[in-house]
Amino acid sequence: MNLFGDPAQWLPLTFAALMGLSILIYVVLDGFDLGVGVLFPFATDVERDRMVASIGPFWDANETWLVLAVGILLVAFPAAHGAILTALYLPVAIMLIGLILRGVAFEFRVKAPVPHKGRWNAAFWAGSLMTSLSQGWMLGLYIMGLQQTPATWVFAALTALFLTVGYSFIGATWLILKTDGDLQRKAVAWARGGIWGVVLGMGAISLASPLVSPRIWDKWLSVPEIFLLAPLPIMSGALVVLLWLALRRLPTSDDSWAWFPFVATIALFTLAFFGMAYSFYPYVVPERLTIYEAASAPESLFIILIGTCVVLPMIAGYTALAYFIFRGKATELRYD
């Protein structure tokens, strides 16, 4: 059968790729601004204002990618949407509460009277932490096949911790790029500590995935698949080494390499995502529903695809425009 000649084959694959792309962009973009929020307790009040200024023009646009990913899951894979959201109802609710708390605190912390600013700072940190931990919990349960057992809860808790550390790491690399002076030096120190959490988290997921699923074990460790997959861990290991070396030499006097940790971290997250995508394909609900079984009718998918071709470039366009306009170092936080 010609894969690209049968809409029942290429349309689900197309929407799975679009959903995966949306999730990847969300994890990278909203990951760094969540990470900045997680790092709040380690900064002074003046530094917190600069940290908020570094993410202020971007954070709400970043969350659009999460809306897009969930929207694609709902309309393109309704059966999977029902199964996933049913299993993850509580962490999804906690994530939404965290996002709401974070969004409200983001605006109020600057406009509130000075005596109340500390409470809004705490609310911003709490919202960021709730969102990060709940997303990590969901990732852990997803890897475990959405099974609810004490063992899967322990793994989900570890994944929640490691993903939060990963977000704080990419947040620190963002601050290295967007700030200077004492705050930049602090961000380098935060990143030096956080890189080990990233390594442990990626290692834990890499070890757990093939142990949970014999199918993933075969996709990773059989021949010739093991040789085809080998470049992913090799490149990931090389990026970790380069990041470690770069962080030991930062900050530089001319700030010429401040961009490297953030770009390298994006590449590292991308490699990890492709490893997961390769592992779980063709399943959208691990070991239960493939993208082809969960997909809407081809006629519906084709109509949705037309709308996606209009909406996706608009989202990508205003996201790119925001990052272009507000490029450079973050300056004083102002609302006038």
Given a cut of 60, whether residue 2 has pLDDT beyond it is no
Residue 1 — pLDDT band, cuts 50, 70, 90?
very low
* Over residues 263-276, mean pLDDT: 92
pLDDT at 334: 60
Residue 326 — pLDDT band, cuts 50, 70, 90?
confident
* Residue showing tokens 């084709």: 302
pLDDT at 260: 93
* Over residues 43-61, mean pLDDT: 88
Q: Which of 94, 70, 74 is nearest to 82 (CA)?
A: 74
The helix or strand, by DSSP H or E, that contains position 327, with its residue range, turns out to be: none
Distance CA 270, CA 326 (A): 24
pLDDT at 4: 57
pTM of model > 0.95 = no
* Over residues 197-209, mean pLDDT: 83
pLDDT at 335: 54
Residue 187 — pLDDT band, cuts 50, 70, 90?
very high
Residue 283: strand pairing partners? 290
CB 62 within 8 A of CB 33: yes
pLDDT at 230: 83
Q: Is the dihedral of CA 86, 91, 92, 93 positive or negative?
A: positive
Would you mind telling me the total number of residues written for the chain in this entry? 336
pLDDT at 91: 93
